[in-house]
Chain A
Amino acid sequence: MTTQPGSLRVSGLAPRAVTHRRTSARMRAAALNCAGVLVAVVTLAPIVWMISTAFKPRTEIFSLTPHILPGHPTLSNFDRVFSGSAIGISFWTFFKNSLYVTGAAVLASSLLSLLAAVAVARFRFRFRTTFLILLLVVQMLPQQALVIALFINFRALNLLDSLTGLALVYTAFALPISIWMLHNFVAAVPREMEEAAAIDGAGPARIFWRILFPLVAPGLVATSVFSFIYAWNEYIFALTFLSPNFPAKFTLPIYVTYFMGQRSSDWGAIMAASTLYTIPPIVFFLLVQRKMARGLVAGAVKG
């Protein structure tokens, strides 16, 4: 039944030993499954609690005996978030802000990093190694340090309280890891295919779009997930650049914490806002989970 690798060797033993081996293997599998369920439960618990609070009416949220699931689920928390009755501005404003900043950063960084990745993976040139090391080092610079200088520069350029300014920063900060991950993907495309196309008379642009691009597309998906998560999550630059005087410019993370500061006991609505904020990255993740895991390792540890 359980085709354990060792079962062949065991079959030479007395039948009793075989059954013993089998039951112990089955018990081990059961124990492993229990551990798996335990990990899943502990991991999911905070997320489940967030969603359940978001659907609970106020009386249940502050009930003396809290229940895991809402007894009388309600949408009133979401209503307050969407209508903006809690802080005066609807959730959709912040959602659009975040979507704009994230979308712009993902598109721009994908394009720029693809170009750079081709350069790094396909050419040998001076400073190539220097550039690669720079990419690694730059990822480690603490953002609390950079935000000081960027705040001053952007103030001079009138880019504070501006979503475009944030999109610029997110593009730049998504570049190092994107280039690093993509150059592995580009290097994995067999050179012979491009050479064959060149012999058949295809020009550089044609080779790029017809041969390289389709083959690197999975890598682009993986890197764009990374930049998406980064820009969608980013807190410290948004916190510094977006002043509370212009709440309509807030991105979602700033909105959620601002909301918590303003309405510190309206946990139903705060959790509803957090849930809505969490949905896009999770949907994105589930769509590309497989490629994600591969790209993640390729980027961090080398594929």
Chain B
Amino acid sequence: MTKLSTQDRPGQLGRSWDGAPQDPAGLRPGARIGTFVRRHRLAPYLLLIPALIGVGWLIVWPTIQVGLFSFQNYGILQLAGVAPTQWVGLANFTAIFKDPEFWVSLRNSCVFAAIVVPLTLVTGTCVGLLLNRLGRRMSVFVSATTLLAWATPTVAATVIFYWIFNPDGGVVDWALARLPTWLGGGAATWAGFNWMSSALPVYTVATLLLVWQGFPFIAVSVLAGLKTVPGELYEAARVDGAGPWQVFWKVTYPLLKPIFLVLLLLSVIWDFGVFPQLYILTGSGANLDEYNLGIYVYQKAFSTPPSYGLGGALALVLTVILLVITVGYVRASIRQGALR
């Protein structure tokens, strides 16, 4: 049985599929194509073609196009075909780097990622550890509720938070206004407080929203990782007198390090240029101080007058930043043997 498959290395399983008895009526056109496919080992390529067309046409090619736009003066006139598209060298990039708005949005993106990512990871890891220690029923119950948070569509979650933090009838302002003054509450500050009007409050709401949406994924992944750790290791650590804190850093963390690394990189990539949540919370990006890179790219490209060249240049900057992080992600995945 296995002898059959080892005869032909390159097309490993292909062998067993190809090994089907030849149709005696080899004159059928279908059979002739089959022979051709087999002889040239085309099967994997044929199977890949539909997916490759989709990914190539709708993801890879547009990426290249955006790269090209970033060196052109592509705007509304060029889109309409009224004016010719011209190469402008690095003009779009110099325009961006001179724009103080770019540096504000870059700073916002960096600070936001630096706060949200650790918060999400720590919250998710704590919940994952908790789920691992809970009894079966309780664990199923808590993980079901966290999955509910994860399943809530982004836009619905954002709209909920918008309503909770609304100055007119929102429950957070109501609660904060009733908090004693020495705890930072009080009606003077909080009654009708508008969370969406300036950068710091908006990003506070966005942080809470993203942690709420993001921690379930971390928790479930950490939990899955914890299930692979043999219980004897914890036994041994505890017998040696290690406290829970030490057990985590000396046993759990080293074993789950690859998972943590991937989760960290994924979180950075997701949170750095986060778009829908901030776009909705800031009211379509009305206030310039509230921009992050994601919104800035979109506004440059699509607000009137649209400038696809500037947007493309910005998108390229954002892409390069994310790709640098992605290289880290890919290398972490390969180290885990994901490509085998």
Contacts and interface: CB of A to CB of B under 8 A. Distances in A.
A120 B269 CA distance: 26
Interface in A119-168: 119-120, 122-125, 128-129, 131-138, 140-153, 155, 168
A199 B155 CA distance: 53
29 contacts: A47-B148, A47-B160, A115-B47, A115-B51, A123-B13, A125-B41, A134-B60, A140-B269, A141-B63, A144-B273, A145-B319, A148-B69, A149-B61, A150-B58, A152-B79, A173-B58, A175-B51, A199-B19, A203-B20, A235-B154, A235-B275, A240-B302, A253-B154, A274-B156, A277-B153, A278-B151, A282-B152, A289-B144, A296-B220
A201 B333 CA distance: 39
Interface in A247-273: 252-253, 256-257, 260, 265, 267, 270-271
Interface in B291-321: 294, 297-298, 301-302, 308, 311-312, 315-316, 318-319
Nearest to B272: A142
Interface string A185-227: 0000001101111110111100100000000000000000000
A124 B336 CA distance: 20
Contacts of A124: 9-12
Instruction: Give the contact-size bracket for chain B.
Output: 35 or more
A296 B61 CA distance: 28
A300 B279 CA distance: 27
A149 B66 contact: yes
A46 interface: yes
Interface of B is mostly: helix
B171 interface: yes
A145 B70 CA distance: 11
Contact of B163 (A53, A119, A144): A53
Contact of A40 (B54, B145, B329): B145
Given A136-B329, A179-B51, A300-B266, A5 B58 contact: no
A201 B164 CA distance: 64
A67 B14 CA distance: 64
A13 interface: no
A86 interface: no
Given A131-B48, A236-B276, A140 B322 contact: yes
A293 interface: yes
Nearest to A208: B17
The residue in B18, B144, B276, B323 that gathers the most chain A C-beta atoms within 10 A of its C-beta is B276
A239 B65 CA distance: 21
Contact of B148 (A6, A43, A113): A43
Contacts of B315: 142, 144-145, 148
A172 B54 CA distance: 5
Interface string A19-44: 00000000001001101100110011
A136 B279 CA distance: 27
Contacts of A128: 44
A89 interface: no
Nearest to A68: B171
Interface string A172-183: 110110010000
B289 interface: no
Contact of A43 (B131, B139, B149, B164): B149
Contacts, number: 335
Contacts of B73: none
B338 A204 contact: no
A66 interface: yes
Contacts of A271: 159-160, 163
**Which A-B residue pairs are the 3 nearest by beta carbons?**
A145-B315, A149-B62, A172-B58
Interface of A: 5-6, 29, 32-33, 35-36, 39-40, 43-44, 46-47, 49-50, 53, 61-62, 66, 111-113, 115-116, 118-120, 122-125, 128-129, 131-138, 140-153, 155, 168-169, 171-173, 175-176, 179, 191-192, 194-199, 201-204, 207, 229, 232-233, 235-236, 239-240, 252-253, 256-257, 260, 265, 267, 270-271, 274, 277-278, 281-282, 284-286, 289, 292-294, 296-297, 300-302
Contact of B221 (A115, A134, A300): A300
A265 B170 CA distance: 11
A171 B52 CA distance: 12
Contacts of A267: 163, 166, 169
A195 B5 contact: yes
B137 to A, nearest CB: 10
Contacts of B10: 124-125
B12 A123 contact: yes
B157 to A, nearest CB: 7
The residue in A239, A240, A284 that gathers the most chain B C-beta atoms within 10 A of its C-beta is A239
A138 B60 contact: yes
B25 to A, nearest CB: 14
B83 interface: no
A136 to B, nearest CB: 5
B135 interface: yes
Contacts of A198: 16-17, 19-20
Contacts of A113: 51
A79 to B, nearest CB: 19
A136 B326 CA distance: 8
Given A148-B301, A296-B217, A123 B43 contact: yes
B59 interface: yes
Nearest to A189: B13
Contacts of A300: 217, 221, 262-263, 266
Contacts of A137: 323, 326, 330
B188 interface: no
A122 B8 CA distance: 13
